[in-house]
Chains A and B, each alone.
Chain A
Amino acid sequence: MRQFILYILALFSILFLLYVYRDNSGPINDRTNLNIYASGSFISSWGPGPELKNLFEARTGIKINYIDMSDPGMTLQKVAFSTEEAGGDMLMGLDQFDIVRFADRVKWNDISAINLQIDAIKSNPYLSEMRSLDIFKNFIPYNWSAVAFVTRTDKNYQLGSLHDLLRPELRSKVAYEDPRTSSPGLQFLLWVARTFSEDQAVQFLKDINTHSHSFSPSWSTAYGLFKNKSVDVVLSYITSPIYHLVEEKDANYHALDFKEGLPLQVEFAGVLSNCRNCEAANKFIQFIQSKEAQRIIMTKNYMLPMNRSLTEGTAFDTLNRYKFLHFKMYTKDEINKWIRIWSDIRKNEG
Protein backbone atom coordinates (compact mmCIF):
# COMPACT_ATOMS: atom_id res chain seq x y z
CA MET A 1 0.00 0.00 0.00
CA ARG A 2 2.89 2.34 0.91
CA GLN A 3 4.41 1.77 -2.53
CA PHE A 4 1.10 2.65 -4.18
CA ILE A 5 0.69 5.87 -2.18
CA LEU A 6 4.28 6.87 -2.96
CA TYR A 7 3.68 6.10 -6.64
CA ILE A 8 0.57 8.30 -6.74
CA LEU A 9 2.31 11.13 -4.83
CA ALA A 10 5.36 11.01 -7.10
CA LEU A 11 3.20 11.08 -10.20
CA PHE A 12 1.08 13.99 -9.01
CA SER A 13 4.22 15.91 -8.02
CA ILE A 14 5.65 15.52 -11.51
CA LEU A 15 2.30 16.50 -13.00
CA PHE A 16 2.12 19.55 -10.74
CA LEU A 17 5.58 20.69 -11.85
CA LEU A 18 4.54 20.26 -15.49
CA TYR A 19 1.40 22.27 -14.73
CA VAL A 20 3.31 25.09 -13.07
CA TYR A 21 5.89 25.33 -15.84
CA ARG A 22 3.45 24.77 -18.72
CA ASP A 23 3.74 27.00 -21.74
CA ASN A 24 1.01 29.58 -21.37
CA SER A 25 1.90 31.58 -24.43
CA GLY A 26 -0.52 29.81 -26.78
CA PRO A 27 -2.70 31.91 -29.10
CA ILE A 28 -5.79 31.44 -26.93
CA ASN A 29 -4.10 33.04 -23.93
CA ASP A 30 -2.79 36.00 -25.85
CA ARG A 31 -5.01 38.95 -25.02
CA THR A 32 -4.11 40.77 -28.21
CA ASN A 33 -5.72 37.98 -30.23
CA LEU A 34 -9.39 37.65 -31.02
CA ASN A 35 -10.80 34.23 -30.14
CA ILE A 36 -13.95 33.29 -32.05
CA TYR A 37 -16.17 30.28 -31.51
CA ALA A 38 -17.35 29.09 -34.93
CA SER A 39 -18.63 25.91 -36.53
CA GLY A 40 -16.31 23.41 -38.21
CA SER A 41 -17.75 24.16 -41.65
CA PHE A 42 -17.20 27.90 -41.13
CA ILE A 43 -13.53 27.58 -40.22
CA SER A 44 -12.61 24.75 -42.61
CA SER A 45 -10.40 25.53 -45.60
CA TRP A 46 -13.45 25.60 -47.92
CA GLY A 47 -15.53 27.74 -45.54
CA PRO A 48 -15.51 31.55 -45.24
CA GLY A 49 -13.44 31.56 -42.02
CA PRO A 50 -9.89 31.55 -43.43
CA GLU A 51 -10.59 34.27 -46.01
CA LEU A 52 -12.36 36.49 -43.46
CA LYS A 53 -9.45 35.96 -41.08
CA ASN A 54 -6.84 36.98 -43.67
CA LEU A 55 -8.75 40.08 -44.69
CA PHE A 56 -9.47 41.16 -41.10
CA GLU A 57 -5.87 40.56 -40.00
CA ALA A 58 -4.54 42.54 -42.96
CA ARG A 59 -6.85 45.45 -42.17
CA THR A 60 -6.53 45.65 -38.40
CA GLY A 61 -3.40 43.74 -37.46
CA ILE A 62 -5.43 41.76 -34.92
CA LYS A 63 -4.80 38.02 -35.06
CA ILE A 64 -7.86 35.77 -35.16
CA ASN A 65 -7.92 32.39 -33.47
CA TYR A 66 -10.94 30.23 -34.32
CA ILE A 67 -12.21 27.77 -31.73
CA ASP A 68 -14.07 24.85 -33.30
CA MET A 69 -17.63 24.72 -31.99
CA SER A 70 -19.04 21.30 -32.78
CA ASP A 71 -22.41 22.21 -31.29
CA PRO A 72 -23.50 25.80 -30.48
CA GLY A 73 -25.76 24.64 -27.64
CA MET A 74 -22.94 22.73 -25.98
CA THR A 75 -20.53 25.65 -26.42
CA LEU A 76 -23.02 28.12 -24.92
CA GLN A 77 -23.60 25.87 -21.94
CA LYS A 78 -19.86 25.55 -21.39
CA VAL A 79 -19.46 29.31 -21.57
CA ALA A 80 -22.36 29.70 -19.14
CA PHE A 81 -20.64 27.40 -16.65
CA SER A 82 -17.40 29.40 -16.69
CA THR A 83 -17.17 31.61 -13.63
CA GLU A 84 -14.55 34.00 -14.97
CA GLU A 85 -13.30 34.14 -18.52
CA ALA A 86 -14.40 31.89 -21.32
CA GLY A 87 -11.87 30.85 -23.96
CA GLY A 88 -13.51 32.92 -26.67
CA ASP A 89 -14.47 36.56 -27.14
CA MET A 90 -17.38 36.10 -29.48
CA LEU A 91 -19.52 33.48 -31.10
CA MET A 92 -20.64 33.01 -34.69
CA GLY A 93 -23.16 30.63 -36.23
CA LEU A 94 -26.06 30.89 -33.79
CA ASP A 95 -29.44 30.37 -35.38
CA GLN A 96 -32.74 31.70 -34.02
CA PHE A 97 -33.34 28.46 -32.09
CA ASP A 98 -29.94 28.49 -30.37
CA ILE A 99 -30.63 32.04 -29.27
CA VAL A 100 -34.00 31.16 -27.77
CA ARG A 101 -32.91 27.92 -26.16
CA PHE A 102 -29.45 28.66 -24.85
CA ALA A 103 -28.40 32.27 -25.22
CA ASP A 104 -30.23 33.48 -22.11
CA ARG A 105 -27.86 31.38 -19.99
CA VAL A 106 -24.95 33.50 -21.18
CA LYS A 107 -24.38 37.24 -20.72
CA TRP A 108 -23.81 39.18 -23.94
CA ASN A 109 -22.48 42.63 -24.69
CA ASP A 110 -24.80 45.26 -26.06
CA ILE A 111 -23.73 45.71 -29.70
CA SER A 112 -26.73 47.67 -30.91
CA ALA A 113 -24.52 50.73 -31.51
CA ILE A 114 -22.47 48.85 -34.12
CA ASN A 115 -25.37 47.02 -35.71
CA LEU A 116 -25.34 48.20 -39.30
CA GLN A 117 -27.89 45.70 -40.54
CA ILE A 118 -31.00 47.74 -39.71
CA ASP A 119 -31.31 49.14 -43.24
CA ALA A 120 -30.64 45.77 -44.84
CA ILE A 121 -33.35 44.20 -42.71
CA LYS A 122 -35.80 47.02 -43.36
CA SER A 123 -35.45 46.45 -47.07
CA ASN A 124 -36.05 42.71 -46.82
CA PRO A 125 -39.80 42.07 -46.46
CA TYR A 126 -39.28 38.60 -45.02
CA LEU A 127 -36.86 39.71 -42.31
CA SER A 128 -38.38 43.07 -41.44
CA GLU A 129 -40.11 41.68 -38.32
CA MET A 130 -36.69 41.05 -36.85
CA ARG A 131 -36.23 44.78 -36.22
CA SER A 132 -38.61 44.86 -33.28
CA LEU A 133 -36.99 41.93 -31.49
CA ASP A 134 -34.99 42.36 -28.28
CA ILE A 135 -32.31 39.99 -29.51
CA PHE A 136 -31.17 42.63 -31.92
CA LYS A 137 -29.44 44.37 -29.03
CA ASN A 138 -27.03 41.48 -28.44
CA PHE A 139 -26.83 39.70 -31.79
CA ILE A 140 -26.32 40.76 -35.36
CA PRO A 141 -27.58 38.65 -38.25
CA TYR A 142 -24.91 38.09 -40.90
CA ASN A 143 -26.47 35.64 -43.35
CA TRP A 144 -29.72 33.83 -44.05
CA SER A 145 -31.30 31.21 -46.22
CA ALA A 146 -34.53 29.25 -46.47
CA VAL A 147 -34.96 25.60 -45.68
CA ALA A 148 -36.24 23.66 -48.69
CA PHE A 149 -36.37 20.21 -50.20
CA VAL A 150 -33.66 19.67 -52.79
CA THR A 151 -33.89 17.11 -55.59
CA ARG A 152 -32.23 16.16 -58.87
CA THR A 153 -33.83 17.74 -61.88
CA ASP A 154 -33.67 14.47 -63.86
CA LYS A 155 -35.94 12.82 -61.29
CA ASN A 156 -38.71 15.10 -62.46
CA TYR A 157 -40.68 15.17 -59.21
CA GLN A 158 -43.48 17.73 -59.34
CA LEU A 159 -43.80 18.64 -55.68
CA GLY A 160 -45.48 21.86 -54.64
CA SER A 161 -46.61 21.44 -51.05
CA LEU A 162 -45.85 19.66 -47.80
CA HIS A 163 -48.63 17.15 -48.49
CA ASP A 164 -46.86 16.08 -51.70
CA LEU A 165 -44.11 14.59 -49.54
CA LEU A 166 -46.52 11.77 -48.70
CA ARG A 167 -46.97 10.69 -52.31
CA PRO A 168 -46.52 6.92 -52.76
CA GLU A 169 -43.62 7.31 -55.21
CA LEU A 170 -41.66 9.14 -52.51
CA ARG A 171 -41.87 6.32 -49.95
CA SER A 172 -38.36 5.86 -48.50
CA LYS A 173 -37.03 8.40 -50.99
CA VAL A 174 -36.78 11.49 -48.76
CA ALA A 175 -34.02 12.09 -46.20
CA TYR A 176 -34.86 14.37 -43.27
CA GLU A 177 -32.85 15.55 -40.29
CA ASP A 178 -33.81 14.79 -36.71
CA PRO A 179 -35.24 17.99 -35.14
CA ARG A 180 -33.71 17.08 -31.78
CA THR A 181 -30.16 17.32 -33.11
CA SER A 182 -30.30 19.33 -36.31
CA SER A 183 -31.31 22.88 -37.10
CA PRO A 184 -32.96 22.20 -40.52
CA GLY A 185 -34.78 19.29 -38.90
CA LEU A 186 -36.18 21.63 -36.26
CA GLN A 187 -37.08 24.11 -38.99
CA PHE A 188 -39.11 21.40 -40.71
CA LEU A 189 -40.89 20.42 -37.48
CA LEU A 190 -41.89 24.02 -36.74
CA TRP A 191 -42.76 24.61 -40.39
CA VAL A 192 -45.30 21.79 -40.13
CA ALA A 193 -46.53 23.15 -36.79
CA ARG A 194 -46.93 26.61 -38.33
CA THR A 195 -48.72 25.37 -41.44
CA PHE A 196 -51.30 22.97 -40.01
CA SER A 197 -53.59 22.91 -36.98
CA GLU A 198 -52.10 20.96 -34.07
CA ASP A 199 -54.06 17.74 -34.74
CA GLN A 200 -53.31 17.87 -38.47
CA ALA A 201 -49.65 18.57 -37.80
CA VAL A 202 -49.31 15.61 -35.42
CA GLN A 203 -50.99 13.30 -37.95
CA PHE A 204 -48.80 14.65 -40.76
CA LEU A 205 -45.65 14.05 -38.69
CA LYS A 206 -46.79 10.50 -37.90
CA ASP A 207 -47.30 9.85 -41.61
CA ILE A 208 -43.93 11.41 -42.51
CA ASN A 209 -42.25 9.30 -39.85
CA THR A 210 -43.35 6.06 -41.52
CA HIS A 211 -42.97 7.38 -45.06
CA SER A 212 -39.45 8.79 -44.85
CA HIS A 213 -36.14 7.13 -45.68
CA SER A 214 -34.44 8.33 -42.49
CA PHE A 215 -34.07 11.12 -39.93
CA SER A 216 -30.33 11.76 -39.78
CA PRO A 217 -28.68 13.39 -36.76
CA SER A 218 -27.14 16.12 -38.90
CA TRP A 219 -27.52 17.95 -42.19
CA SER A 220 -24.24 16.54 -43.51
CA THR A 221 -25.36 12.93 -42.92
CA ALA A 222 -28.71 13.51 -44.66
CA TYR A 223 -27.04 15.32 -47.55
CA GLY A 224 -24.52 12.48 -47.84
CA LEU A 225 -27.43 10.08 -48.41
CA PHE A 226 -28.68 12.37 -51.15
CA LYS A 227 -25.27 12.76 -52.74
CA ASN A 228 -24.65 9.01 -52.90
CA LYS A 229 -28.13 8.58 -54.43
CA SER A 230 -29.63 6.58 -51.56
CA VAL A 231 -32.51 9.08 -51.64
CA ASP A 232 -33.98 11.36 -54.31
CA VAL A 233 -35.02 14.28 -52.09
CA VAL A 234 -33.33 15.82 -49.06
CA LEU A 235 -34.26 18.50 -46.57
CA SER A 236 -31.61 21.18 -47.10
CA TYR A 237 -31.39 24.85 -48.09
CA ILE A 238 -32.46 26.74 -51.21
CA THR A 239 -28.82 27.68 -51.68
CA SER A 240 -27.61 24.04 -51.90
CA PRO A 241 -28.18 23.76 -55.72
CA ILE A 242 -26.11 26.95 -56.17
CA TYR A 243 -23.17 25.16 -54.55
CA HIS A 244 -23.41 22.34 -57.11
CA LEU A 245 -23.78 24.81 -59.93
CA VAL A 246 -20.82 26.99 -58.94
CA GLU A 247 -18.39 24.48 -57.43
CA GLU A 248 -19.21 21.38 -59.50
CA LYS A 249 -20.67 23.01 -62.63
CA ASP A 250 -23.62 20.65 -62.19
CA ALA A 251 -27.04 22.11 -62.90
CA ASN A 252 -28.90 18.88 -62.14
CA TYR A 253 -30.10 20.06 -58.73
CA HIS A 254 -32.93 22.32 -57.74
CA ALA A 255 -34.76 23.39 -54.60
CA LEU A 256 -38.52 22.83 -54.56
CA ASP A 257 -40.83 25.77 -54.04
CA PHE A 258 -43.78 24.98 -51.75
CA LYS A 259 -47.03 26.89 -51.75
CA GLU A 260 -46.90 27.14 -47.93
CA GLY A 261 -43.75 29.26 -48.24
CA LEU A 262 -40.27 28.24 -47.09
CA PRO A 263 -39.11 28.90 -43.51
CA LEU A 264 -36.11 31.17 -43.00
CA GLN A 265 -32.96 30.39 -41.14
CA VAL A 266 -30.82 33.30 -39.99
CA GLU A 267 -27.33 33.08 -38.52
CA PHE A 268 -26.22 35.51 -35.83
CA ALA A 269 -23.00 36.61 -34.15
CA GLY A 270 -22.70 37.92 -30.58
CA VAL A 271 -19.97 39.21 -28.24
CA LEU A 272 -19.64 37.49 -24.86
CA SER A 273 -19.77 39.78 -21.82
CA ASN A 274 -16.69 38.10 -20.34
CA CYS A 275 -14.68 38.71 -23.51
CA ARG A 276 -10.98 39.39 -23.10
CA ASN A 277 -10.57 41.46 -26.20
CA CYS A 278 -13.98 43.13 -26.54
CA GLU A 279 -12.71 45.96 -28.67
CA ALA A 280 -11.40 43.54 -31.31
CA ALA A 281 -14.66 41.59 -31.15
CA ASN A 282 -16.62 44.78 -31.85
CA LYS A 283 -14.32 45.51 -34.78
CA PHE A 284 -14.95 42.04 -36.16
CA ILE A 285 -18.71 42.50 -35.76
CA GLN A 286 -18.45 45.69 -37.83
CA PHE A 287 -16.18 43.92 -40.31
CA ILE A 288 -18.56 41.01 -41.06
CA GLN A 289 -21.25 43.54 -41.95
CA SER A 290 -19.03 45.12 -44.60
CA LYS A 291 -19.68 44.40 -48.27
CA GLU A 292 -16.40 42.53 -48.73
CA ALA A 293 -17.02 40.23 -45.77
CA GLN A 294 -20.65 39.68 -46.75
CA ARG A 295 -19.52 38.70 -50.25
CA ILE A 296 -17.02 36.19 -48.83
CA ILE A 297 -19.71 34.71 -46.57
CA MET A 298 -22.12 34.45 -49.49
CA THR A 299 -19.67 32.73 -51.84
CA LYS A 300 -18.04 30.44 -49.28
CA ASN A 301 -20.85 29.68 -46.84
CA TYR A 302 -23.47 29.45 -49.60
CA MET A 303 -25.94 31.51 -47.61
CA LEU A 304 -27.60 34.76 -48.64
CA PRO A 305 -26.02 38.01 -47.47
CA MET A 306 -28.04 40.51 -45.42
CA ASN A 307 -27.33 43.11 -48.06
CA ARG A 308 -29.49 41.91 -50.95
CA SER A 309 -27.78 44.08 -53.55
CA LEU A 310 -24.74 41.78 -53.35
CA THR A 311 -26.64 38.94 -55.00
CA GLU A 312 -27.33 40.95 -58.14
CA GLY A 313 -25.72 39.39 -61.18
CA THR A 314 -24.81 36.20 -59.29
CA ALA A 315 -26.35 32.72 -59.23
CA PHE A 316 -27.98 33.69 -55.91
CA ASP A 317 -30.17 36.19 -57.75
CA THR A 318 -32.28 33.33 -59.13
CA LEU A 319 -33.54 32.58 -55.61
CA ASN A 320 -35.79 35.64 -55.60
CA ARG A 321 -38.58 33.63 -57.27
CA TYR A 322 -39.16 31.49 -54.16
CA LYS A 323 -41.95 32.17 -51.72
CA PHE A 324 -40.65 32.60 -48.19
CA LEU A 325 -42.41 32.63 -44.85
CA HIS A 326 -41.79 35.67 -42.68
CA PHE A 327 -39.03 35.30 -40.10
CA LYS A 328 -40.45 34.12 -36.80
CA MET A 329 -38.88 33.73 -33.36
CA TYR A 330 -40.42 30.80 -31.49
CA THR A 331 -40.55 30.70 -27.71
CA LYS A 332 -38.63 28.09 -25.77
CA ASP A 333 -41.95 26.50 -24.70
CA GLU A 334 -43.16 26.22 -28.29
CA ILE A 335 -39.92 24.58 -29.37
CA ASN A 336 -39.89 22.18 -26.41
CA LYS A 337 -43.54 21.29 -26.92
CA TRP A 338 -42.99 20.25 -30.55
CA ILE A 339 -39.76 18.43 -29.75
CA ARG A 340 -41.72 16.45 -27.12
CA ILE A 341 -44.46 15.65 -29.64
CA TRP A 342 -41.81 14.53 -32.11
CA SER A 343 -40.04 12.37 -29.52
CA ASP A 344 -43.34 10.66 -28.64
CA ILE A 345 -44.05 9.94 -32.31
CA ARG A 346 -40.58 8.46 -32.80
CA LYS A 347 -40.85 6.42 -29.59
CA ASN A 348 -44.22 4.97 -30.49
CA GLU A 349 -43.31 4.23 -34.08
CA GLY A 350 -39.75 3.10 -33.43
Chain B
Amino acid sequence: MLQAYFESIKYVGHLLPISLLRIFVGYFYLQQAFNDWKIHILSNSVVSDLIVDALSGDKMPYWYRIFLSEQVIPHWDVYAFILVGLQLAVGISYLIGYVVRPASVLGIILCLNYIAIGSSSQELFFRLLIACQLTFAWVGAGRCLGFDYYFYKRYRGMWW
Protein backbone atom coordinates (compact mmCIF):
# COMPACT_ATOMS: atom_id res chain seq x y z
CA MET B 1 0.00 0.00 0.00
CA LEU B 2 2.85 2.35 0.89
CA GLN B 3 4.57 1.44 -2.38
CA ALA B 4 1.39 2.40 -4.27
CA TYR B 5 1.27 5.69 -2.36
CA PHE B 6 4.59 6.82 -3.84
CA GLU B 7 4.09 4.99 -7.15
CA SER B 8 1.12 7.28 -7.76
CA ILE B 9 3.49 10.24 -8.31
CA LYS B 10 5.00 8.37 -11.26
CA TYR B 11 1.72 7.42 -12.94
CA VAL B 12 -0.61 10.31 -12.07
CA GLY B 13 2.03 12.97 -11.43
CA HIS B 14 -0.05 15.59 -13.26
CA LEU B 15 -2.34 15.62 -10.19
CA LEU B 16 0.56 16.47 -7.83
CA PRO B 17 -0.16 20.24 -7.54
CA ILE B 18 -3.79 19.52 -6.67
CA SER B 19 -2.67 16.89 -4.16
CA LEU B 20 -0.41 19.39 -2.45
CA LEU B 21 -3.35 21.77 -2.22
CA ARG B 22 -5.42 18.88 -0.82
CA ILE B 23 -2.82 18.24 1.88
CA PHE B 24 -2.78 21.92 2.78
CA VAL B 25 -6.59 22.04 3.05
CA GLY B 26 -6.43 18.84 5.13
CA TYR B 27 -4.00 20.53 7.50
CA PHE B 28 -6.47 23.46 7.81
CA TYR B 29 -9.33 21.10 8.74
CA LEU B 30 -7.16 19.24 11.26
CA GLN B 31 -6.14 22.50 12.88
CA GLN B 32 -9.80 23.54 13.10
CA ALA B 33 -10.70 20.18 14.62
CA PHE B 34 -7.97 20.41 17.29
CA ASN B 35 -8.89 23.99 18.16
CA ASP B 36 -12.58 23.14 18.45
CA TRP B 37 -11.81 20.03 20.48
CA LYS B 38 -9.85 22.13 22.95
CA ILE B 39 -12.41 24.95 23.10
CA HIS B 40 -15.73 23.13 22.90
CA ILE B 41 -15.04 19.66 24.28
CA LEU B 42 -12.20 19.96 26.79
CA SER B 43 -13.06 23.36 28.25
CA ASN B 44 -16.86 22.82 28.14
CA SER B 45 -17.35 26.14 26.37
CA VAL B 46 -20.97 27.17 26.35
CA VAL B 47 -21.64 27.85 22.66
CA SER B 48 -19.44 28.73 19.72
CA ASP B 49 -18.81 32.49 19.27
CA LEU B 50 -19.57 32.02 15.61
CA ILE B 51 -23.11 30.77 16.29
CA VAL B 52 -23.86 33.44 18.88
CA ASP B 53 -22.59 36.10 16.49
CA ALA B 54 -24.62 34.66 13.62
CA LEU B 55 -27.84 34.57 15.67
CA SER B 56 -27.30 38.21 16.61
CA GLY B 57 -27.17 39.18 12.93
CA ASP B 58 -29.89 38.95 10.32
CA LYS B 59 -27.99 37.22 7.54
CA MET B 60 -28.91 33.55 7.77
CA PRO B 61 -32.08 31.92 6.40
CA TYR B 62 -35.02 31.77 8.81
CA TRP B 63 -35.22 27.96 8.90
CA TYR B 64 -31.51 27.72 9.74
CA ARG B 65 -31.90 30.29 12.54
CA ILE B 66 -34.71 28.16 14.05
CA PHE B 67 -32.60 25.03 13.64
CA LEU B 68 -29.63 26.64 15.41
CA SER B 69 -31.59 28.18 18.27
CA GLU B 70 -34.02 25.28 18.87
CA GLN B 71 -31.86 22.26 18.10
CA VAL B 72 -28.16 23.06 18.07
CA ILE B 73 -27.83 25.37 21.07
CA PRO B 74 -29.82 23.24 23.58
CA HIS B 75 -27.70 20.20 22.56
CA TRP B 76 -24.49 22.05 21.86
CA ASP B 77 -22.23 19.38 23.41
CA VAL B 78 -23.51 16.75 20.96
CA TYR B 79 -23.26 19.06 17.95
CA ALA B 80 -19.80 20.23 18.95
CA PHE B 81 -18.71 16.58 19.11
CA ILE B 82 -20.17 15.85 15.65
CA LEU B 83 -18.62 19.01 14.20
CA VAL B 84 -15.17 18.13 15.54
CA GLY B 85 -15.59 14.54 14.28
CA LEU B 86 -16.49 15.68 10.77
CA GLN B 87 -13.64 18.20 10.66
CA LEU B 88 -11.23 15.48 11.80
CA ALA B 89 -12.60 13.02 9.23
CA VAL B 90 -12.19 15.49 6.37
CA GLY B 91 -8.77 16.62 7.64
CA ILE B 92 -7.29 13.12 7.92
CA SER B 93 -8.86 12.06 4.63
CA TYR B 94 -7.26 14.98 2.76
CA LEU B 95 -3.95 14.60 4.52
CA ILE B 96 -3.46 10.91 3.70
CA GLY B 97 -5.52 10.92 0.50
CA TYR B 98 -8.04 8.30 1.61
CA VAL B 99 -11.73 8.41 0.49
CA VAL B 100 -11.14 11.96 -0.73
CA ARG B 101 -14.20 12.12 -2.98
CA PRO B 102 -16.88 11.43 -0.34
CA ALA B 103 -14.87 13.45 2.19
CA SER B 104 -15.01 16.40 -0.23
CA VAL B 105 -18.81 16.27 -0.06
CA LEU B 106 -18.61 16.43 3.74
CA GLY B 107 -16.11 19.27 3.49
CA ILE B 108 -18.40 21.22 1.19
CA ILE B 109 -21.32 20.76 3.61
CA LEU B 110 -19.13 22.07 6.46
CA CYS B 111 -18.18 25.10 4.35
CA LEU B 112 -21.82 25.81 3.48
CA ASN B 113 -22.53 25.74 7.21
CA TYR B 114 -19.72 28.24 7.85
CA ILE B 115 -21.01 30.49 5.08
CA ALA B 116 -24.51 30.43 6.59
CA ILE B 117 -23.31 31.44 10.04
CA GLY B 118 -20.05 33.25 9.29
CA SER B 119 -19.48 36.92 8.64
CA SER B 120 -19.37 38.32 5.11
CA SER B 121 -15.60 38.81 5.38
CA GLN B 122 -15.13 35.04 5.73
CA GLU B 123 -17.59 34.15 2.99
CA LEU B 124 -15.10 34.57 0.15
CA PHE B 125 -12.59 32.28 1.87
CA PHE B 126 -15.15 29.51 2.30
CA ARG B 127 -16.36 29.93 -1.30
CA LEU B 128 -12.79 29.41 -2.47
CA LEU B 129 -12.54 26.38 -0.19
CA ILE B 130 -15.71 24.95 -1.75
CA ALA B 131 -14.22 25.49 -5.24
CA CYS B 132 -11.05 23.66 -4.14
CA GLN B 133 -13.04 20.76 -2.74
CA LEU B 134 -15.21 20.49 -5.85
CA THR B 135 -11.95 20.16 -7.78
CA PHE B 136 -10.69 17.47 -5.37
CA ALA B 137 -13.89 15.50 -5.86
CA TRP B 138 -13.89 15.99 -9.61
CA VAL B 139 -10.32 14.88 -10.31
CA GLY B 140 -10.13 12.35 -7.47
CA ALA B 141 -7.31 14.19 -5.71
CA GLY B 142 -6.58 11.21 -3.46
CA ARG B 143 -5.20 9.23 -6.36
CA CYS B 144 -1.90 11.10 -6.33
CA LEU B 145 0.15 11.10 -3.12
CA GLY B 146 -2.72 9.30 -1.44
CA PHE B 147 -4.03 5.86 -0.55
CA ASP B 148 -6.96 6.22 -2.95
CA TYR B 149 -4.57 5.23 -5.75
CA TYR B 150 -4.09 1.82 -4.16
CA PHE B 151 -7.84 1.20 -3.79
CA TYR B 152 -8.64 2.64 -7.23
CA LYS B 153 -6.24 0.15 -8.85
CA ARG B 154 -7.96 -2.77 -7.10
CA TYR B 155 -11.62 -1.85 -6.91
CA ARG B 156 -12.14 0.94 -9.46
CA GLY B 157 -15.46 2.84 -9.12
CA MET B 158 -16.49 6.44 -8.44
CA TRP B 159 -15.55 6.55 -4.73
CA TRP B 160 -11.75 6.79 -5.23
CB–CB B81/A19 < 8 A? yes
Check A77 for interface membership: any CB of B closer than 8 A: yes
Interface-facing stretch out of B12-20, B47-55, B117-125: B47-55
Rounded to whole angstroms, the CA-CA distance of A91 and B73 in the bound complex is 22
CB distance from A24 to the nearest CB of B (A): 9
The 9 closest A-B pairs by CB, nearest first: A82-B46, A78-B46, A4-B99, A4-B102, A77-B52, A81-B47, A12-B85, A81-B73, A15-B85
CB–CB B52/A81 < 8 A? yes
A1-43 CB mask vs B (1 if < 8 Å, else 0) is 1011001100110011001001100101100000000000000
Closest A residue to B73 using CB positions: A81
Which of B52, B76, B89 contacts A11 (CB under 8 A)?
A: B89
Check A132 for interface membership: any CB of B closer than 8 A: no
Check A235 for interface membership: any CB of B closer than 8 A: no
Which of B42, B49, B159 contacts A3 (CB under 8 A)?
A: B159
Check A50 for interface membership: any CB of B closer than 8 A: no
Contacts of B46 in A (CB 8 A): 78-79, 81-82, 86-87
Interface centre among A15, A23, A86, by most B CB within 10 Å?
Answer: A15
A65-94 CB mask vs B (1 if < 8 Å, else 0) is 000000000100111011100110000000
Contacts of B98 in A (CB 8 A): 7
Rounded to whole angstroms, the CA-CA distance of A82 and B103 in the bound complex is 32
Closest B residue to A28 using CB positions: B43
CB–CB B42/A26 < 8 A? yes
Contacts of B102 in A (CB 8 A): 1, 4
Closest A residue to B33 using CB positions: A15
Which of A12, A74, A86 contacts B53 (CB under 8 A)?
A: A74
CB–CB B45/A83 < 8 A? no
Rounded to whole angstroms, the CA-CA distance of A11 and B98 in the bound complex is 13
CB–CB A78/B159 < 8 A? no
Interface residues of A (CB under 8 A from B): 1, 3-4, 7-8, 11-12, 15-16, 19, 22-23, 26, 28-29, 74, 77-79, 81-83, 86-87
B71-102 CB mask vs A (1 if < 8 Å, else 0) is 00110100001001100110011000011001
Interface centre among A11, A16, A22, by most B CB within 10 Å?
Answer: A11
CB–CB A15/B47 < 8 A? no
A8 in contact with B89 given A28-B44, A81-B52 (CB within 8 Å): yes
CB–CB A74/B52 < 8 A? yes
Besides the known contacts A1-B159, A4-B102, A28-B44, 18 further A-B residue pairs in the complex with CB atoms under 8 A apart: A1-B102, A3-B151, A3-B159, A4-B99, A7-B93, A7-B98, A8-B89, A11-B88, A12-B89, A15-B85, A15-B88, A26-B43, A29-B44, A77-B55, A79-B46, A81-B46, A83-B74, A87-B45
Rounded to whole angstroms, the CA-CA distance of A29 and B42 in the bound complex is 10
Rounded to whole angstroms, the CA-CA distance of A74 and B48 in the bound complex is 10
Closest B residue to A15 using CB positions: B85
Rounded to whole angstroms, the CA-CA distance of A3 and B74 in the bound complex is 33
CB distance from A216 to the nearest CB of B (A): 16
Contacts of A22 in B (CB 8 A): 41-42
Rounded to whole angstroms, the CA-CA distance of A303 and B65 in the bound complex is 40
CB distance from B45 to the nearest CB of A (A): 7
CB–CB A82/B89 < 8 A? no
CB–CB B44/A87 < 8 A? yes
Which of A12, A19, A78 contacts B52 (CB under 8 A)?
A: A78
Rounded to whole angstroms, the CA-CA distance of A23 and B73 in the bound complex is 24
Can you name 11 A-B pairs with beta carbons within 8 Å? A3-B99, A3-B151, A7-B98, A11-B85, A12-B89, A19-B41, A23-B42, A26-B42, A74-B53, A78-B46, A87-B46
Check B56 for interface membership: any CB of A closer than 8 A: yes
A87 in contact with B43 given A4-B99, A19-B81, A78-B49 (CB within 8 Å): yes
Rounded to whole angstroms, the CA-CA distance of A4 and B74 in the bound complex is 30
CB–CB B151/A15 < 8 A? no
Rounded to whole angstroms, the CA-CA distance of A26 and B38 in the bound complex is 12
CB distance from B56 to the nearest CB of A (A): 7
CB–CB A15/B52 < 8 A? no
Rounded to whole angstroms, the CA-CA distance of A79 and B41 in the bound complex is 16
Rounded to whole angstroms, the CA-CA distance of A23 and B84 in the bound complex is 17
Contacts of A83 in B (CB 8 A): 74
CB distance from A179 to the nearest CB of B (A): 16
CB distance from A163 to the nearest CB of B (A): 35
Contacts of B88 in A (CB 8 A): 11, 15
Rounded to whole angstroms, the CA-CA distance of A15 and B41 in the bound complex is 11
